[in-house]
Amino acid sequence: MTDETLLVGPFNRVEGDLEIRLTVSGGQVQTAQVNSPLFRGFERMLLGKSPTDALTLTPRICGICSISQSAAAARALCAAASGQPAPQGALVTQLLHAVENVADHLTHFNLFFMPDFTRPIYAGQPWHDEAVARFTAMKGSAIHAAVDARSKLLHITGLLAGKWPHTLAIQPGGVTRAPSPRDRVRIDLTLREFRRYLEQTLFGAPLEAFADLSTPDRLMAWETGDAGLFLRIAAVTGLADLGAGCGRFLSFGAYPGPEGCGFARGLWTADGLQGLDTDTIVEDLSHAWMLGDAVHPNRGDTIPDEDMQAPAYSWCKAPRLGGQIVETGALARQVVDGHPLARALAAGKAGVLARVAGRLLEIARTQILMERWVAAIDPAQPFMAPVTLPRSGAGEGLVEAARGALGHWLSIRDGRIDRYQIIAPTTWNFSPRDSAGTPGPVEAALEGAPVLPGEETPIAVQHIVRSFDPCMVCTVH
């Protein structure tokens, strides 16, 4: 049997562009190589600039995870200054960041992931007509409802952060706008409206009922809302067994605030919950069009190989934790946080179904967190604390973007940025091979995916890739 090679791209309904090279034989993907085809070089742009310029420039790495980049830059600067944000400023940052992450999850489910089930390949399935009505690209009723609910939810960013994306409101010492009592009730009202959308449309039931699901069996028995439609489709299309992950889940801890993280920090493996030692992170460059050695990001450089020499095949570096690949994202966060449903899904194959269900679970749980945080806003308190940046110093800023663990590592010398390195969630998930030849998480998850006769862009490959919700503009940055 001869191997066939498929080159898949432009790969859309991911953020940014993506190219995947597949070798196929026996109706299955044998190997996959993931290429992040865009290099912009933010880590180089920042060199020599005022440290605070990172707050303007790094959000513009990404139009979909802009606040995540803001929050990571602010934390890195705050760490370099050995400062502390005002507790209420940290609370508003938590809320703003959660709003962006939930909006991203909603965009992913409705606009990026579900439209694939409207494809003619599924015509004749008992659920296909409903999928077409709800999720036809640009026209489906669920897509319109999600776009409208999302823009209303983002009113919270308009009010507290001026605009979205690309706000400068999040600073090392807190936030630039102190919300008034009137702002607080207005935000609360927006969240109530968003809850109504979630309960009427996405879940079709009280969202606590979805957040309380504890076993995969109960999950699969969920019938209402668009979540129910997805689960019915997932059950008959075998999404549970498709695209199994590596089983090592990373979370830097989401929404750090005055009372700890909203979702816990850690590493989950087959041996259970592990402590997370970020000192063991190394970016391997063996298969990236980058020059230099494999080092920790606080010593890393970004030197593109203009000759794009083999065996490299991507602009993406290959981060490894303790020498191993890890998966990051909503599912990882919920597994690390100890949610029983997520833990049970992680004990299985943890493929396409688990990733999408993890995101739905997180939408429900994050709405509850956001409601709690709004209630805790105290307009009488300060929202910005003074933080004085040092002439020289270094800092690490770790946050959880919608797509997973995001880190900024910065050093300052003589009042200027001396080094700035970023590892985005999709850098982890969509990394190329390392010097040991170990494929990145998505590359590994694609091995064994079914390819039907005549398929140019295999539908199974599309489901698997999109289940990771890649953000390609962040990946290389």
For residues 60-99, which are near another protein according to CB under 8 A?
60-64, 66
CB of 30 to another protein, least distance (A): 19
Q: Which of residues 374-403 bind another protein (CB under 8 A)?
A: 379, 382-384, 386
Of 202 and 213, nearer to another protein (C-beta) is 202
> Do residues 53 and 76 lie in contact, with contact meaning Cβ atoms separated by under 8 Å?
no
Q: Are strands 174-175 and 281-284 parallel, antiparallel or unpaired?
A: unpaired
Q: Which stretch binds another protein (CB under 8 A): 76-84, 147-155, 318-326, 329-337?
A: 147-155
Cβ count near 22 (within 10 Å): 24
Contact assessment for residue 96 and residue 157, using Cβ atoms and an 8 Å cutoff: yes
Which one of residues 131, 161, 276, 353 is an interface residue with another protein (CB under 8 A)?
Answer: 161
- DSSP bridge partners of 34: 20
Contacts of 120 by beta carbon, 8 Å cutoff, 6+ apart: none
Distance of CA 243 to the CA centre of its chain: 17
Query: Which of 86, 169, 144, 150 lies closest to 381 in space, CA to CA?
Result: 86
Residue 36 vs 366, nearer CB to another protein: 36
Q: How far apart are CA 7 and CA 33, in angstroms?
A: 10
> Which CB, 221 or 452, lies closer to another protein?
452
CA distance 225 to 145: 12
Q: Please tell me the distance from the alpha carbon of residue 13 to that of residue 455, in angstroms, as a whole number.
A: 19
Residues 334-373 that bind another protein (CB under 8 A): none
Q: Is 137 among the residues that bind another protein (CB under 8 A)?
A: yes
Site for another protein contains 457 (CB under 8 A): yes
The H or E element containing residue 92 is helix 87-107
Answer yes or no whether residue 311 interacts with another protein by CB under 8 A: no
8 Å CB contact between 115 and 135: yes
The verdict on 16 binding another protein (CB under 8 A) reads yes
- Alpha carbons within 13 angstroms on the beta-carbon side of residue 12 total 4
Distance separating alpha carbons of residues 91 and 251, to the nearest angstrom: 20
| Closer to another protein by Cβ: residue 118 or 429 | 118
Query: Closest separation between CB of residue 383 and another protein, Å?
Result: 7
Give the contact letters, 167-186, x = binds to another protein (CB under 8 A), - = no. Answer: xxx-x--xxxxx-x------
Cα(60)–Cα(66) distance, rounded to whole angstroms?
6
The stretch near another protein (CB under 8 A) out of 158-166, 335-343, 359-367, 427-435 is 158-166
Closer by beta carbon to another protein, 35 or else 251: 35
Among 84, 112, 238, 371, binds another protein (CB under 8 A): 112
- Least Å distance between CB 82 and another protein? 19
Distance, first Cα to last Cα, the chain: 40
Q: Is 451 in the site for another protein (CB under 8 A)?
A: no
Nearer to another protein, 30 or 56 (CB): 56
Residue linked to tokens 């303007």: 56
120 vs 437, beta carbon nearer another protein:
120
Which span sits near another protein by CB under 8 A: 143-151, 226-234, 250-258, 433-441?
143-151
Contact 306, 279 (CB under 8 A): no
* Count of residues that bind another protein according to CB under 8 A: 89
Which range in 220-228, 248-256, 440-448, 454-462 contacts another protein by CB under 8 A?
Answer: 454-462
| Of 17, 212, 418, 447, the one binding another protein by CB under 8 A | 17
The tokens for 329 are 């994202």
* Cα radius of gyration (the chain): 22
State which of positions 225-244 bind another protein (CB under 8 A). Answer: none
Q: Per CB under 8 A, does 32 bind another protein?
A: no
User: Between residues 86 and 363, which has the closer beta carbon with respect to another protein?
Assistant: 86
